[in-house]
């Protein structure tokens, strides 16, 4: 008989839910939760599918996840079809297997097993799912969280199923994330013939001292929970490809991953001061996709650590590294305790993304143990 976690994971992988298209994944999950006695509320917003499922009374414990995946890329490079959930040597292959359809399946089966043992559990057991986490996230968790608050539904504990593990399941959990600030700067010059440098102003040349100073800034030293703030230039663009003409402008794109030692205003002021110091003509666009958040301590963090130890006999390492996650919205708007725990991240978003069945089963057992620790 096929393992129920494997069966559910295969069903979800078979839905080509490239963000923000859910492609039927949430219907599969909602059918399972309805049978378990959950009340379900769809909160679909434009092109994005979202749902909120809950059961019980009291403090709200929430599993948070997403059904969308990144594109499969060149399917001819895959060993097996990316949207089939093919099993070979006890490994499930497929886009989204690790990020994060496997974790969603582990959550659902953990809930199913928990409710068989504790049908009259304490508190509210809930599930919050979106189909737009991998792309812009415009109509996903951030807007849903705001709607929940309007209905006086405030999550106290939030467990996110992002793939945090590295070498073994539960070796690393996230108790926070850095903020992310995207910046676009347009530096203006004067276009001209390359043979007449006295008649032009080359924005590439004039930008070099500024760019050197920009990437040399030590923003902060970090702290016990966060690495130092870092900046990476992602792209430099000019509006001409001719070899005998200089461009009239240079577009610089960069990103800062920042911690709680610095503010967005502090970053902006530092960059404006540097631009003015170098006497550049400029225009700046700022886009903060997430502020840093941190769960220093609390019941959820303690119970998650204890549950991992019970199953794995080893304690996890706490980390705030990596990209952003939807947990930031729950923390920012609700002040919730947020912890992230999921499958291994070694091949997420890659060709031949896959998970071991044994890892999937282990994660579900840890989730079930967390539920027992939190709700009984």
Confidence grade of residue 1 (pLDDT, cut at 50, 70, 90): low
pLDDT 10s digits, 98-124: 999 999 999 999 999 999 999 999 999
* 133 is known as an active-site residue: yes
- Indicate the pTM of the whole model: 0.90
Q: Under a CB-based contact definition with an 8 Å cutoff, are residues 30 and 57 in contact?
A: no
Beta bridge partners, 245, equal 193
Q: DSSP readout, 229-259?
A: PEEEEEEEEES---SSEE-SEEEEEEEEEE-
What span, in angstroms and rounded, lies between the C-alpha atoms of 352 and 93? 6
Give CA separation, 154 vs 138, 145, 273, 326, in Å: 21, 8, 41, 16
Confidence grade of residue 73 (pLDDT, cut at 50, 70, 90): very high
What percent of the chain is predicted at pLDDT more than 90? 96
What is the DSSP secondary structure assignment for residue 199, as one 8-state letter?
G
What span, in angstroms and rounded, lies between the C-alpha atoms of 69 and 52? 20
- Token look-up 């769960």 returns 295
Give CA separation, 253 vs 128, 199, 250, in Å: 34, 27, 10
What percent of the chain is predicted at pLDDT more than 70? 100
Query: b/e map of 305-330 (b: 16 or more CB within 10 Å)?
Result: bebbeebbeeebebbbebebbbbbbb
Q: Under a CB-based contact definition with an 8 Å cutoff, are residues 174 and 322 in contact?
A: yes
Residues near 62 by Cβ (< 8 Å), separated by ≥ 6? 126, 127, 128, 155, 157, 158, 159, 330, 336
Angle at the Cα of 305 (from 111 to 312), degrees rounded to 5? 80
Number of H helices, E strands in the chain: 9, 19
* 142 is known as an active-site residue: no
pLDDT 10s digits, 245-303: 999 999 999 999 999 999 999 999 999 999 999 999 999 999 998 899 999 999 999 99
Beta bridge partners, 60, equal 124, 155
pLDDT score at 264: 97
Question: Token digits for 4?
Answer: 């129920």
pLDDT score at 241: 83
Paired sense of beta strands 317-319 and 230-238, if any:
unpaired
Q: Under a CB-based contact definition with an 8 Å cutoff, are residues 181 and 264 in contact?
A: yes
Q: Under a CB-based contact definition with an 8 Å cutoff, are residues 148 and 84 in contact?
A: no
What span, in angstroms and rounded, lies between the C-alpha atoms of 282 and 287? 17
Confidence grade of residue 23 (pLDDT, cut at 50, 70, 90): very high
Which of 22, 112, 132, 133 is flagged as catalytic?
Answer: 133
What crossing angle do the helices spanning 264-277 and 203-216 adopt, rounded to 10°? 140
pLDDT score at 2: 77
Positive or negative, the Cα torsion across 6, 7, 12, 16?
positive
Which of 21, 22, 68, 162 is flagged as catalytic?
Answer: 68
Q: Under a CB-based contact definition with an 8 Å cutoff, are residues 370 and 186 in contact?
A: no
pLDDT score at 13: 98
Paired sense of beta strands 172-174 and 317-319, if any:
parallel
Give CA separation, 351 vs 67, 188, 328, in Å: 18, 41, 28
What is the DSSP secondary structure assignment for residue 99, as one 8-state letter?
I
Which helix (H) or strand (E) segment holds residue 362: the answer is: helix 357-375
């Amino acid at each position: 008989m096929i393992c129920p976690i494997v069966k559910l994971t295969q069903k979800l992988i078979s839905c080509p839910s490239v963000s923000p298209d859910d492609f039927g994944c949430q219907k599969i999950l909602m059918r399972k939760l309805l049978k378990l006695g959950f009340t379900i509320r769809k909160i679909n917003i434009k092109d994005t599918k979202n749902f909120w499922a809950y059961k019980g009374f009291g403090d709200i414990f929430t599993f948070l996840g997403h059904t969308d995946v990144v594109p499969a890329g060149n399917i001819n490079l895959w060993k097996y079809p990316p949207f089939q959930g093919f099993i070979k040597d006890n490994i499930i292959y497929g886009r989204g297997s690790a990020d994060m359809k496997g974790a969603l399946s582990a959550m659902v089966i953990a809930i199913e097993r928990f409710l068989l043992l504790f049908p009259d559990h304490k508190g509210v057991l809930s599930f919050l799912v979106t189909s737009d986490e991998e792309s812009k996230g415009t109509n996903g968790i951030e807007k849903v969280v705001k709607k929940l608050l309007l209905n006086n539904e405030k999550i106290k504990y939030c467990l996110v199923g992002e793939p945090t593990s590295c070498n073994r399941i539960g070796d690393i959990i996230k108790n926070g994330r850095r903020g992310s600030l995207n910046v676009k700067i347009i530096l203006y010059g004067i276009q001209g013939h390359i043979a007449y440098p006295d008649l032009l102003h080359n924005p590439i040349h004039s930008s070099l001292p500024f760019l050197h100073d920009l990437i040399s800034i030590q923003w902060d030293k970090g702290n016990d929970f966060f690495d130092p703030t870092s900046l990476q230039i992602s792209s430099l663009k000019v509006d001409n490809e001719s070899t005998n003409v200089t461009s009239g402008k240079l577009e610089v794109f960069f990103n800062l991953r920042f911690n709680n030692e610095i503010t967005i205003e502090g970053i902006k002021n530092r960059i404006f001061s540097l631009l003015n110091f170098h006497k550049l003509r400029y225009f700046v666009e700022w886009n903060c996709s997430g502020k840093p958040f941190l769960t220093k301590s609390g019941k959820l963090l303690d119970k998650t650590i204890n549950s991992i130890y019970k199953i794995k006999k080893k304690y996890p390492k706490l980390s705030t590294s990596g990209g952003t996650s939807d947990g930031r919205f729950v923390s920012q708007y609700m002040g919730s305790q947020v912890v992230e725990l999921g499958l291994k991240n070694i091949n997420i978003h890659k060709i031949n993304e896959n998970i071991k069945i044994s890892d999937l089963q282990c994660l579900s057992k840890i989730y079930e143990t967390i539920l027992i620790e939190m709700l009984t």
